[in-house]
Structure 1
Amino acid sequence: MMYRCGWGAKEGQETVLAVEITREGFEWALRHACLSHYVPELHADQAEWKRQLKHAPARVQWDPERDLHLDPLPYRSLQLGLGGEAAERYADEWIVGIEDVTPLAKQVHAHVRVGELTRAAALLPAERPYPVAERTVSRLRG
C-alpha cells in the first residue's frame, strides 16, 4: 500500500503510518460493509444496492494487488473505506498501535528506483491471507 501515497512523496501524503487495529473491529466493519459497486448477482436491484450503500458505515472494493513495478498481480485485495459509525469506532475503539513507517517507505522506494527489487522486497512486511468466515465476506465478493 505504500505506493499509493507515492512512497511518502505525494503532496499532503508525506507521512506513511502503519495502523494496527483489533480483529473484532475489522470484522465488525466487514459485517457492516456494502460493496462500492452494484453486482446483479448479489443485489436485488440497483435501487436496493444504492440504499444499502447510503446507510452502510463501511464500503468494500476489490483492487488488483501490485508488484514493486506497480504492475497488476493476478489477485485482488480488499480495500475498506470507513465512514460514520465505523470511522468513530476505528478512532475510539479499534486502534491498538500506530507506527510511522515513512523512513521504511522511502528506503523501499529508493531500492525500487535503482532496480534492487530483492532488497526492496526484503524490507516489506510479510503478507498472508487474512482468515475470515465465509459468511462474513460472501456478500462482499464483486
Structure 2
Amino acid sequence: MNLEIQREKYLEYKTRLPKTGKQIIGQYDQKWMVVYQAFHPSISDYAVKHQRFGGDHYSFNRMSWIKPNFLWMMYRAGWASKPNQERILALWVDREKFDYILSQAVHSTFIAEVYQREEHWKKALAESEVRLQWDPDHDPYGNRLERKAIQLGLRGTVLKKFATEWLYQIEDITDWVKLEGAKVQANTIEELTVAYEQIYPLTDHSLAERIGIKSVGKHA
C-alpha cells in the first residue's frame, strides 16, 4: 500500500498550531510517522529505487539528521535549492521505532535539570547514538518563529536500522516542494500548500518532560 503526504493550505496550518513552546509537530497516523531528509540526487535515487538507504554515496559512519517538521526541512534545504539538498525525501517510519529513537536521545547541549552534572551529560552524549536538538521553527519565508522544532541525529546501530529496516516507504517529494517553493517566491502565500501536521502525542510523560516538552502555548 502506497502512503501519501496529506496536505493543507498554509494559512489553515498556521492558525491551527501553537505559536510558542517545544512540541513535536509532524504528520502521523496510528502506525507511521513521517520525517524528512534532504540529499544529493545520487543518494536519493538509490533510496527511492531500493526503498532503503545505501549505495556508494551514502555513509553509515556519520550522523544523519531527521526532521518531522515539513517547514523546518524547507528552511534547512531552501525549498530544495541548496547544494547537496536538491532532493527532499519523505520517510515513513514505524511509530514504535520513532518513540524508541526519542527514548535514546541526548540533548546536544547541557541541560542541568535533566543531567544534573555536566560530566553526566558528556558521558550520556558519548554513549548515545541519538542526538536531540531544538531549533527555532520557521515560516515559509525562512523567518524565525517563537515555536521550537525538533531534529534528531542518528548514528551507529540506530542509523543502520533506521536506514535499512525501520522505514516502510521512501518517497521523493521534490517536485511538489519546488512547486510550493515557487509560490513562496511569488509571494502567493494564500495558495501555498504544506504537509498537514499535528502535535505528536507522547504517552510517556516522563520522556516528554526529559526531552523538553511541557505544555502547549508556553515556552519550554
In the alignment, structure 1 residue 103 sits paired with structure 2 residue 175 = yes
Corresponding residue for residue 139 of structure 2: 67
Corresponding residue for residue 101 of structure 2: 29
SS at match of 2:199: coil
In the alignment, structure 1 residue 124 sits paired with structure 2 residue 194 = yes
Corresponding residue for residue 48 of structure 1: 120
Q: Which has the higher contact order (CA 8 A, sep 6+)?
A: 2
Paired with 2:88 and 2:163, the residues of 1 have a C-alpha distance of 17
Paired with 2:141 and 2:82, the residues of 1 have a C-alpha distance of 17
* C-alpha RMSD of the superposition: 1.3
Residues 64-73 or 23-32, more deviating: 64-73
Residue 137 (structure 1) shift: 2.3
Paired with 1:104 and 1:2, the residues of 2 have a C-alpha distance of 12
Judge conservation of contact 2:105–2:131 (CA < 8 Å) in 1: yes
Corresponding residue for residue 208 of structure 2: 137
For residues 61-112 of structure 1, the C-alpha deviation after alignment (integer angstroms, 9 at most, x for no partner) is: 1111111121122211211111112101202321011111101111111000
Residue 13 (structure 1) shift: 1.3
SS at match of 1:21: strand
Runs of 4+ in 1 over 6 A off after TM superposition: none
Bigger helix share: 1
Tell me the TM-score normalized by structure 1. Answer: 0.92
Partner residue of 2:154 out of 54, 67, 82: 82
Corresponding residue for residue 165 of structure 2: 93
Paired with 1:54 and 1:60, the residues of 2 have a C-alpha distance of 13
Gaps of 5+ in 2: 1-72, 213-219
For residues 17-47 of structure 1, the C-alpha deviation after alignment (integer angstroms, 9 at most, x for no partner) is: 1111000110111111111110112112111
Paired with 1:45 and 1:118, the residues of 2 have a C-alpha distance of 49
Judge conservation of contact 2:135–2:148 (CA < 8 Å) in 1: yes
Percent of residue pairs identical: 34
Residue 57 (structure 1) shift: 1.1
- Match of 1:89, as an amino acid? K
Gaps of 5+ in 1: none
Tell me the TM-score normalized by structure 2. Answer: 0.61
